Structure 1
Amino acid sequence: MDTRESKKILRFIIKEQALSRTDLDKIWNSSYGKHEAIEKNVHDLLAKLAWDFSPEQLEHLFDCFRESWTKASKKQQEKLLELIRRLAEDDKEGLMANKVLELLWNIAHDQHLPNEIIDQALSAHLKILDYSCLQEKEKTKLLWLDKFMDEVKHHRGHVIISLKQLKEICMQFHEGVFAQNIPRMPGPQNRTGVIDILEKKYELTRVVTENLCHYMENARKHKE
C-alpha cells in the first residue's frame, strides 16, 4: 500500500473519530530507527493528517514530538524541527501555528542544545511569523514583540535571543510608507510605526541601552 492510499484510509478513520492515541503512537514510532526515506514518508503523512486531528489528537502529536526530542540525535532533531515547522505553514486559524511558535521558542531556550539547533529553531520561528497563512499575522507578530520586550525588560530567559528575534521581526515590517491609494489596515503599517509603539510602551531605547551596559559590565567582570 502506498502513502496516498494510507493517507486516505487514515483520514477516513480520523473523520470517523476512530483513531486512538495508541494508533497515533504507532504511526509516530513507525519511523523510529528506520531508513531516512521511511522517516520522511511518515513525517509527510503526519503533516498532512494533522489538519484533520481533533484538539486532543493534536496535543498528543505535540507530546510525541516532545518525547522524541529528548532522545533524538542532532540529525533527528533537525528533521523534527522541519516537521513541526511544516505543521504551521498553512495554518490560517492559528491553532497549530501558535503552538509551534511556543514550542520553538522553548527549544531555543534549552541551554543543553547545540547552537546549530537553537539557530534552526529561531529561524523556523521567524519563518512561521513571516510566511505563514495566519489571518492575524501582524497581530501575532506584535504579541511576540511584547513577549520579547517583557523578557528583555525583566531579564527573563535569554535576553540576547529575545533582542535578536525582536530585531528580525521588526525587519519583517515594511520599511516605507504605503501609497495613499492602497487600503490601510488597523495597526502599524511599517517598521517605524512598530518601533514607535515599542518606544512608547516599553521605552525601547532605554531598555536596550541598559541591557547592553549590563552585558558589557558582566563581560568585564568575567575577564577580570
Structure 2
Amino acid sequence: MDQKEKKIWQTVSIAGTFITGACLVISIFQFFSYKINEPFLVTRFDSLTINTVAFVGYLYLLLNPLHFTAHVIVFYVYGIGNFLDGGNVLGLICIITSAVFLYFINFFKKHMVLKIIAFSIIPVASVFMQIFFEGQLMFWISAMHILGALFMMLLIFLLFYPRLKELGTQHFEKKIDSSLCTPQDLDFLTRVLAGEKYSAIAAFHNISESKLKARMLELYKILEVKDRVEFLMIYNNTSFVLEDNTAV
C-alpha cells in the first residue's frame, strides 16, 4: 500500500460517512413511525443502533482512513443487523467483508481456529434466531440463499486468488535520507514491522520506552504516516535503506 492508496481509502471514508449518515436519518424516521408499535425490542432498535454505530465508525475513519479495525466493526455490525432483519445475503457479504479486513490486519495470524469460531458465533446465532421469528420454511429458504452467495463468493475468490497471492509476496524498498535517519532508526522500523512491541525494542537497544516512542513519532512523520497503524498498512513488506543525498 502507498500514499495513493491512502487517498483512495480517504475517499472511501468520505463516501461511507455520507451513506451511513443518510441511512441513520432514514432509520430515525423509521424508529419514530413504522417501528413505533414493534413489540420486540431487537426489531425496534436494531436499525437505529446499527446505523448509529456505522456512522460513528465512518466519522472516525475520516480522520484515520487506514484503521481497518473500524471497517471491521462497521461491516460486522451491519452483517448482524441484516441477519436479524432477514437480509441474509447482504448480511453474509458484510460478515465476509469484515473477515477480509481482519485478515489484512493479521487478526487470524495466531489462534486462527479459535478466533474464527468466536467471530462466527453471533452471526450463526442471528441466523438461527430466524427459526423462532420467521418459521422453519423461511429459515431454510434463507439458508439456501446463503449457500448460493457463499458459492458465488468462492468463485470470485478463486478468480482473484492468484493476483492476491502475487501481491502478498511482493517486496518493496524504501529509501530514506541519511540526514533524517540513522541505522538504529532503521532497526526500529524493521522491528515494528515485524510486530515487536515497543517495550521489547527499547530493551534490545537499552533505551527507555518513552524515548523510543518519541523517536518513532518523528520517524512516522518523516514517512508521512500518522501512527503505527498507518505505518504497518502502508509499509507492509517493505525494507528500509539509507540514501546519502549529500552533494559531493
Task: Please state which band the TM-score falls in when normalised by the shorter chain.
Answer: 0.3 to 0.5
TM-score (norm 2): 0.31
Higher relative contact order (CA 8 A, sep 6+): 2
TM-score (norm 1): 0.33
Higher strand fraction: Structure 1 or Structure 2?
2
